Amino acid sequence: MSIVMLKTRDGEQPMQFRSHALRPARIVREELRHFTGTTFPENPLEGCALVLRRLEAFGMIADADADQWVDVLANNGDILHEVPVTIQGFEYLRRTLKFVREE
């Protein structure tokens, strides 16, 4: 797999090979909300990269100050990257990953 460059809150970064899951998050009425993470059991790195490449291809990556983003997680739960997404990108993730709000 070639290196995937991500547009993160901290600027463009190469996607870490430890990438294991995606977890959407957003701020609603000044409250941080996390949603259930999604893993890709057959190939976690490729699954994460595919979803993020689609967001990029469809123009769904937002500016760094967006109120919604997707965390790229390592298998131990560490946040490796925060990728800001547009509202359309967030809704795309909701439809494809079928996440629900974590309590």
**pLDDT tens sequence across 34-90:** 999 999 989 999 999 999 999 999 999 999 999 999 999 999 999 999 999 999 999
Residue 2's pLDDT band, with cuts at 50, 70 and 90, is confident
pLDDT at residue 103, rounded to an integer: 78
* Domain ranges within the chain, ordered by starting residue: 5-97
To the question of pTM greater than 0.85 for the whole model, the response is yes
Q: Which residue has the tokens 């709000």?
A: 101
Question: From CA 69, how far away is CA 62, in angstroms rounded?
Answer: 8
Asked if 74 contacts 19 with a C-beta cutoff of 8 angstroms, the reply is yes
Q: What's the full length of the chain, in residues?
A: 103
